[in-house]
Structure 1
């Protein structure tokens, strides 16, 4: 069986499982989607953080016993929509087109435009307490989710040709530049993670926003949009370490959070998206940044067999989100540098052979001596759907 056949069988099996679940599922961070757990935490942020982390890392799925409700994740639906657009383009299968339309109808209904004045989206269908005590809720829009809905709307427009999708995407862009665009103390423009994040700069947040804006730039030639993309790209270049990596976030108190995982891929992807639009005075810096970033990502974060470090230099657990992002980024890098030809295949095949259940879904994590088989819908299934669709799109004709 060829690698292409293995990957086609994998994505079709995954699609069927997701449809059977009607997109409902659990999430690694969904502990507070339980009234019982909320009651036990008694409003304490420390107990809520503890409950969230225990729920996230437990290899036993206690969610049914703790009454953690399943939900449909907005970000997950945006990822599925992007994947379906690619799959329809490759196959002309009306099932993928119908699935894309269903996802976009859901996303349109989840817009928080009535609250914020612009189309925008929150990634969590539940309340979430982060390790730094910050909170996210279904009513707090964020840059990652909004950016992915923008990308989904633009890509879905190419197959559905519905003007309301472009209106959604433009509304999301207005939210990014009017509610999240800020200038740092050292003079660089960046995007806040959400309207409440005034004490930190999350590097990959600006990268996701840049990727979304680049999707719109393929449809619109507007000075303000081009300038915003130019500024965000400069911010990403300036934030890169000399070894090619990026830190996760910087706080106003001087604290820096280093987390070398799939977020590196987000940033590389965004610079690849922006490269065709870069001015001559900026292009050399973009190319150099991609070269350094992709070299670090491949040589330091990945093993030769296609496994990704959990968070470099920590090896285990092998996480499905890391695997999916590796497939996405190295598939996109093929057009930038042919030396990456085949590496995305290696990651995809290792992941399918080691982390996909016979029923179609993907496991959460692979530890050294055991597996966490919980089938998280957004974290595992949505990202793998997009990863495999991106692989098939970018490798078309390369097999």
Structure 2
């Protein structure tokens, strides 16, 4: 790991504490909620560059040129989307995170308005599923070009489907409505029947998208985490068998220091903050849902590595294991969420979650209420108002922290 202590002063100079006032936290949440309402829950996405209708024709269906356009829009420090013809839209993954956040806020405050917002979000998601698959599933509202493949708009991913499925399980537990459980069951049927379970080591890896051999650890474990939560309610042993086999694969791929690569293929050999957080959450879901501790040491070794690697002393969440920049809002939101989730195993985790939240509110939240996408330095800031990657994940994470302190 690089010498991180020398990085903090050149990035930002902030006053930091380990006791963020609960009133300040709720004020931040309210400002964000107002911004979301004023914008009809619409925003941009980090990877929506191929929706640039004024420029997209000039990619000539070339994978290379599609990549250049998508990554150029994503990485440029100024938001070019309005000039290029990219519209602000609602995001399925974003609406899932918002639903979870609204339910958390209702539990914390008792205010029924949050329940109304949560049910409206879940209802919207039920009406915006991808069609043509075995069960409920969700994908991007834009075309996407990855390093490995091209993914047209609407094709579901296990990441989207699993995270949204968790929102429906939360909805079932919160509202007691069977229709939410049945939607989560339907999502498990999609995972079981539409996604390949690719044998690897002594387990399997759940494919990222239908019809492709795409193996990514956070995607694999997210699928497993939804399966095991649903199994704990329904008793469907097929879900448990697949979940355990998938978690076994990722457990066996854990590196000696406790980390995981994003994926095992050579071009996927990086370690970052928020994808590691996803994996840790999934092992936690398994242990909480089953009471089985077979992956406990794997989980805690990964957690200790993650906590000791990805945070500066003032709460700044680092992006990679070897460098801090860029300061990305998804690293903040997922860090807060994972730290809150591990509060029973680590009595210091809420203190660090408060430090991350305070740093993020001070340095990434606009006066209007939304959160910036990235900081590249003290003065270079990408202020793009992304929806799921920023606003929705931050509302969910801050709501979880507010509920817990």
Q: TM-score, normalised by structure 1?
A: 0.92
Any stretches of 5+ residues in structure 1 without a counterpart? Answer: none
Question: 1:188 aligns to what?
Answer: 203
Q: Give 1:127's match in structure 2, choosing from 112, 124, 143.
A: 143
1:327 aligns with 2:336: yes
Alpha-carbon spacing, 1:186–1:392, altered in 2? closer, same or farther (3 Å):
same
Alpha-carbon spacing, 1:214–1:6, altered in 2? closer, same or farther (3 Å):
farther
Q: Give 1:163's match in structure 2, choosing from 178, 186, 193.
A: 178
CA distance in 2, matches of 1:2, 1:208: 30
| Structure 1, 168-177 or 211-220: larger mean CA deviation | 211-220
Q: Give 1:220's match in structure 2, choosing from 225, 229, 234.
A: 234
1:66 aligns with 2:84: yes
CA distance in 2, matches of 1:221, 1:278: 11
Please give the per-residue CA displacement for 1:46-84, whole angstroms capped at 9, x wherever unaligned: 111001111001111111111112211111111111111
RMSD across aligned positions (CA): 1.8
Question: 2:15 aligns to what?
Answer: none
Task: Name the SS for the 2:212 alignment partner.
Answer: coil
- Asked whether the 8 Å contact 1:202–1:250 carries over to 2, the reply is yes
CA distance in 2, matches of 1:295, 1:239: 17
CA distance in 2, matches of 1:170, 1:277: 15
CA distance in 2, matches of 1:242, 1:376: 36
Q: Give 2:73's match in structure 1, choosing from 55, 73, 79.
A: 55
Q: TM-score, normalised by structure 2?
A: 0.91
CA distance in 2, matches of 1:162, 1:279: 25
* Superposition deviation, residue 278 in structure 1: 4.8
Question: 1:378 aligns to what?
Answer: 388
- Asked whether the 8 Å contact 1:75–1:148 carries over to 2, the reply is yes
| Structure 1, 202-211 or 156-165: larger mean CA deviation | 156-165
The correspondence of residues 1-399 of structure 1 with structure 2, limited to 5 A, is 3-112=21-130, 114-122=131-139, 124-132=140-148, 134-198=149-213, 200-251=214-265, 256-278=268-290, 283=293, 285-370=294-379, 371-393=381-403, 395-396=404-405
CA distance in 1, matches of 2:268, 2:372: 31
Task: Name the SS for the 2:205 alignment partner.
Answer: strand
Task: Name the SS for the 1:183 alignment partner.
Answer: strand
Any stretches of 5+ residues in structure 2 without a counterpart? Answer: 1-18
* Superposition deviation, residue 392 in structure 1: 2.1
- Asked whether the 8 Å contact 2:224–2:247 carries over to 1, the reply is yes
* Superposition deviation, residue 277 in structure 1: 4.3
* Superposition deviation, residue 85 in structure 1: 1.3
CA distance in 1, matches of 2:53, 2:349: 47
Please give the per-residue CA displacement for 1:221-247, whole angstroms capped at 9, x wherever unaligned: 232222222222222211111101001
